Amino acid sequence: MTIEQALRQEKLGNLPRPEPVNVPSGTSLAEALQVMRAAGGAAVLVCRGARAIGIFTERDVLNKLFTAPVDDSQAVDRFMTAGPASLPLDAPLGEAVRLMTEKGYRNVPLVDREGNSAGMIAARDIVLYVAEHFPTEVANLPPSMEQEYHSSEGA
């Protein structure tokens, strides 16, 4: 299978992903930050029941928390990105790559058939998948995407 075929055929639900990191709606900002830090993640899903209603990311921290003094007892809901774009578990890997590329996302929430939160896929999860399944192709990539080799190098 080629990388292109994998992007079209591999389902997001088949990729190894870390356990979902989430907090209930109404959780304090301080607690949400603590959960995010403890998980070593770059994002936390904010859920109402089984559904993700928002995502709070490291970008939200940088763009919303450092602009003015913030009371960290306020609900994380005030600082999250509400209604994030999500993908179903049976979506192909390439769909996550497309969404991340077009929208500049690093993390995309995943949902099951009922629309309930099923975790999240991060750009690093995709990079790890590609590196693990296509090591030769990754090792032979040019340093720049625009660079082309016109002759083979080596001894």
Q: 58-77 pLDDT, tens per residue? A: 999 988 888 888 899 999 99
> Domains (ranges, CATH) in the chain?
3-135 (3.10.580.10)
Q: 95-148 pLDDT, tens per residue? A: 999 999 999 999 999 999 999 999 899 999 999 998 888 888 777 766 666 666
Predicted pLDDT of residue 151: 64
Name the residue among 133, 118, 123 with its Cα closest to residue 13: 118
